Amino acid sequence: MAIGAQVPTQPMGRPARYPRGMRTRFDSLAKDLWKDALGDVGRVTAELEVTSPPQRADATFEPDPIQRAALRARGLLGRMALGACMLEAFHGTPDPEDVRDCHRKYLAWRRSLGEDRDGALLWLVVSGDPRRAKRDFQLRRLSGWPEGVFSAAPGFGLRAVSVAALPATRDTLALRLFGQGAVLREAAREVLALPEDAWERRLIPVLLQWRTQIPELPERRTTDEEDFVSNAQQILDEWERRATHKGLSQGLSQGRSEGLAPLVRLFERRLSRPLTETEREGLRSRLGSLGPERLGDVVLDLSPAELGAWLADPAAR
């Protein structure tokens, strides 16, 4: 389906620790997640300019009427997007002024919809607990929806999702990838454990891609960026581990010699040297006795020095 043209980035949300108006890298991450999660079942427009002077929404979404069944199959995110909506994500928690800014953009966008404006909603997706916003805007738990989903009075068209409060179910999985810390790590592990054709798996490469956009030097990172780097690295390690296990298992099923080749490459890369013939023979023997999953754990978990000692010890398991 059509995806709106990209325009210069604008904040994904402004946690209190960021000076107001400061641009963060998480704005583009959220927009990419919206596009990959919903772009095939409707029209996602990133950073739509909605007011003068210009303000830009993270994303707006207009569902494709013939894709309603596909949307319903996308859990809580699909349910949120069954009607036209504006999507604003906050890595942290918004203060009341942030919410007012979003609502002003929402009202301008809603007017632009003309006769299609009825039912259009503003959804705030917040990684933490938006306590001040809940208090100032009287956000209440939305009846019939999971814990962590809130609504203002119906006339405001304002709803919010507290990612940290969502139940850890498949239904909420895509939204929990907008979380922080342990919430993000657990959601990523759950996605990686899904079948290859699960739609949520398309979101993991977005997270890993955005790991490369954060400064390499820790002293140049914000607190949120440091948290994201740590989590993204764990996700990447798990991604590589599962890919390694899958490749080794496939190689083993195709024949012993084919199963050994990817192992040799991994061991040599980890050791930064070629394997000796004795080490190759030992690896071939252990492939049969220990299996590819154990060898995958060994090559990924041990340091180069530990890996060399493991190869040299015939009794090592």
Alpha-carbon distances of 18 from 90, 98, 150, 190, 222, rounded to whole Å: 12, 12, 25, 31, 9
Cα 239 from Cα 213, distance rounded (Å):
19
pLDDT of residue 201: 84
Q: How confident is the model at residue 147 (pLDDT cuts 50, 70, 90)?
A: very high
pLDDT of residue 22: 35
Q: How confident is the model at residue 188 (pLDDT cuts 50, 70, 90)?
A: confident
**Does residue 140 surpass a pLDDT of 80?**
yes
Q: How confident is the model at residue 14 (pLDDT cuts 50, 70, 90)?
A: very low
pLDDT of residue 144: 95
Among 26-30, 142-146, 193-197, name the one with the lowest average pLDDT.
26-30
Name which residue leads in pLDDT, 272 or 145. 145
Cα 59 from Cα 258, distance rounded (Å):
47
Q: How confident is the model at residue 312 (pLDDT cuts 50, 70, 90)?
A: confident
Identify whether the C-beta of residue 127 lies closer than 8 Å to the C-beta of residue 179: yes
**Does residue 102 surpass a pLDDT of 90?**
yes
Whole-prediction pTM value? 0.64
**Does residue 313 surpass a pLDDT of 60?**
yes
For residues 118-138, average pLDDT: 93
Name which residue leads in pLDDT, 89 or 54. 89
Q: What percent of the chain has pLDDT over 90?
A: 31
For residues 8-29, average pLDDT: 46
Helices and strands (DSSP H and E) totals, the chain: 13, 7
For residues 24-31, average pLDDT: 70
pLDDT of residue 9: 34
Identify whether the C-beta of residue 88 lies closer than 8 Å to the C-beta of residue 57: yes
Sheet containing 158-162: which strands, arranged edge to edge?
42-46, 59-63, 85-90, 121-126, 158-162, 149-151, 140-141
Identify whether the C-beta of residue 121 lies closer than 8 Å to the C-beta of residue 157: yes
Name the DSSP class of 56.
Answer: B
- Which helix (DSSP H) or strand (DSSP E) does residue 207 occupy? helix 204-211
Cα 295 from Cα 51, distance rounded (Å):
58
**Does residue 265 surpass a pLDDT of 80?**
no
Name which residue leads in pLDDT, 212 or 29. 29
Tokens linked to 196: 């290859």
Q: Token match 């914000």: residue?
A: 222
Cα 66 from Cα 69, distance rounded (Å):
8
pLDDT of residue 295: 75
Alpha-carbon distances of 139 from 95, 144, 156, 275, rounded to whole Å: 14, 15, 11, 62
pLDDT of residue 226: 61
Tokens linked to 81: 């997007």
Among 17-26, 131-140, 299-308, name the one with the lowest average pLDDT.
17-26
pLDDT of residue 91: 81
Q: How confident is the model at residue 138 (pLDDT cuts 50, 70, 90)?
A: very high
Sequence-separated (6 or more) residues with CB below 8 Å from residue 187: 168, 173, 176, 177, 179
The mean pLDDT of the chain is 77
For residues 85-91, average pLDDT: 91
**Does residue 130 surpass a pLDDT of 70?**
yes
Name the DSSP class of 317.
Answer: -
DSSP string, 263-295: HHHHHHHHHTSPPPHHHHHHHHHHHHHH-HHHH
